[in-house]
Homo-oligomer: A and B are copies of this chain.
Amino acid sequence: MEILTPAEENYLKTIFKLTESDGGKAASTNAIAAVLGTAAASVTDMLKRLSAKGLLHYEKHRGASLTERGNELATNLVRRHRLWETFLVMKLGFSWDAVHDIAEQLEHVQSSELVERLDAFLDRPKFDPHGDPIPDTKGRMASRKQVQLSALAVGEKAVVVGVQESQASFLQYLDRVQISLGAALQVLEQFDYDGSMRVAVQGKDEYTFSQKVCENLYVQKTK
């Protein structure tokens, strides 16, 4: 496992995201520069260096795409980022939209044992607080895109697809309020004061769920 600098890791991550969101096409110099907020010339420089290290394929004027090794490292970085975001929200009580910048720093801490223990501490979550899947040690991840119930706006409809923490007491509570995997929900009202929500379950019953419940429930939006 070669060790990369934070800057190198950020390039890999950026190229990873760009190629992913653009169906596997090579990432262009300008696009990378735009994401990282650097000059295009700096990108060209770095692409040469990373290419020499075997982490990406690069040909002049032709953009960059990750090698298998580069992909592995980038996926692992995404894993670290999403685990830290989960930690910040679930354990430290940050709101899910305030954690990105801190996770950007934490993701560069080098220690595979730390990541492994953090994963275990969080009960091996499959999704981060934004609903993005967390890759496992081998880079595999769920493909489903889900969000916390608490992230929905009034009026939105969704289907329950999972829970973050699956303690018996929480599952019993869900049973009590008629919620099971696949249950259809619609947000009727939101109370900023304590983060609770009034929600229609299966189009008939209405319940008010506390913030804690809303954050533990994962849903997929529907129309």
Q: What residues of B have a CB within 8 angstroms of the CB of A117 in the complex?
A: 92-94
Excluding A92-B117, A105-B109, 5 further A-B contacts by CB distance (< 8 Å) are: A88-B114, A91-B121, A92-B121, A105-B111, A109-B109
Please classify how large the interface on chain A is, using the bins under 10, 10 to 19, 20 to 34, 35 or more: 10 to 19
Name the B residues within 8 Å of A101 (CB-CB): 111
B110 touches A105 (CB 8 A): yes
Q: How far is the CA of A113 from the CA of B88 in the complex (A)?
A: 11
Q: Interface SS of chain A: helix, strand, loop or mixed?
A: helix
Tell me if A102 counts as interface (CB < 8 A to partner B): yes
Q: How far is the CB of A75 from chain B (nearest CB, A)?
A: 21
Most buried by B among A91, A94, A109: A109
Residue A179, interface by CB 8 Å: no
The reply to whether the CB of A141 lies closer than 8 angstroms to some CB of chain B is no
Ordered by A's residue number, 5 sampled pairs between the chains whose C-beta atoms are within 8 Å are A92-B118, A92-B121, A93-B117, A94-B113, A109-B109
